Chains A and B, each alone.
Chain A
Amino acid sequence: DTEVTQTPKHLVMGMTNKKSLKCEQHMGHRAMYWYKQKAKKPPELMFVYSYEKLSINESVPSRFSPECPNSSLLNLHLHALQPEDSALYLCASSQVPLAGREQYFGPGTRLTVT
C-alpha cells in the first residue's frame, strides 16, 4: 500500500479564517513533505519533516504553520491567508529523508482563499 491521504479535497476560506489541512500515511515512512502547486507550475517545496521534526522550512510565511503530531500524521494550519495563497497543496512521504528516495504523493487539497 503506497497511499497518502489528504483531507479535505477542496477548501474555500476567507482571509480571516483559520483552517487546517490533514495528511496521513500508514507506510511507516519517516519523512513527510508539504508542497504548494500553482496552476500549470511544478510543485514547490514548503516544509520537510524528518522523524517528526521540522528539518526544512523553505522561507514559508508564518501564516502557514506545519505540525507533525506523530509519524503518520502531518497537518498544515492556515491563518490569515491571502488570495495569492490559492493553490493545490500536496502532501508527500518517503521512507527516510535521504537523497534518492522516491516520494509518494497524496491527491492534494485544492484551496481557494476569497
Chain B
Amino acid sequence: GNSVTQMEGPVTLSEEAFLTINCTYTATGYPSLFWYVQYPGEGLQLLLKATKADDKGSNKGFEATYRKETTSFHLEKGSVQVSDSAVYFCAIGGSQGNLIFGKGTKLSVKP
C-alpha cells in the first residue's frame, strides 16, 4: 500500500532561516500528496497539496513540488517565523479516500 517517510526532527531554527522538511513516498499509481500542519492543542490544517507530477503546492510562503522521479514532496519555506512553530505532517492519499500520514516533524523557531 501507499506510505510516506518524513524526517522526524525535531527541527530547531532561528527566525528568518530557510526550512526544508523532507518527505518521500511509496505508492502505486499517482496519488495526491499533502502537507498538514498541527499547532499546539489544535487539529490538523491543510497547508498545501499537489495532485500530479511537477505540480507545486504553495500557501503562506510554504512550497512543495511533486517529484515523481525522486518520489519526493519536500516542504520548503524561505524565511520562517516564530508563528510557524508546529508539527508538520506529510500525507498521501489512500485508495479509499483516506489519508496516510508520515510520523510528523516538530518545528521550533526561535526569535
Among A13-21, A69-77, A92-100, the one that faces the other chain is A92-100
B residues near A96, Cβ cutoff 8 Å: 97
Q: For the complex, give the distance between the alpha carbons of A6 and B42 in Å.
A: 12
Instruction: Flag if B42 contacts A108 (CB, 8 Å).
Output: yes
Q: For the complex, give the distance between the alpha carbons of A44 and B51 in Å.
A: 22
Q: Is A81 an interface residue (CB 8 A)?
A: no
Instruction: Flag if B97 contacts A42 (CB, 8 Å).
Output: no
Q: Is B96 an interface residue (CB 8 A)?
A: yes
A residues near B97, Cβ cutoff 8 Å: 31, 48, 50, 94, 96-99, 101
| Closest B residue, CB atoms, query A108 | B43
Q: For the complex, give the distance between the alpha carbons of A50 and B44 in Å.
A: 21
Instruction: Flag if B101 contacts A43 (CB, 8 Å).
Output: yes
| Closest B residue, CB atoms, query A109 | B43
| Closest B residue, CB atoms, query A98 | B97
Per-position 1/0 for A74-114, Cβ under 8 A of B = 00000000000000001010101111111111111000000
Smallest Cβ distance from B68 to chain A, in angstroms? 15
Q: With A105-B43, A108-B43 known to touch, is A48 a contact of B32 (CB < 8 Å)?
A: no
Smallest Cβ distance from B7 to chain A, in angstroms? 14
Instruction: Flag if A101 contacts B93 (CB, 8 Å).
Output: yes
Q: For the complex, give the distance between the alpha carbons of A109 and B36 in Å.
A: 18
User: Residues of B at under 8 Å CB distance from A?
Assistant: 31-32, 34, 36, 42-46, 49, 51, 89, 93-99, 101-104
User: Residues of A at under 8 Å CB distance from B?
Assistant: 4, 6, 31, 33, 40-43, 45, 48, 50, 55-56, 90, 92, 94, 96-108
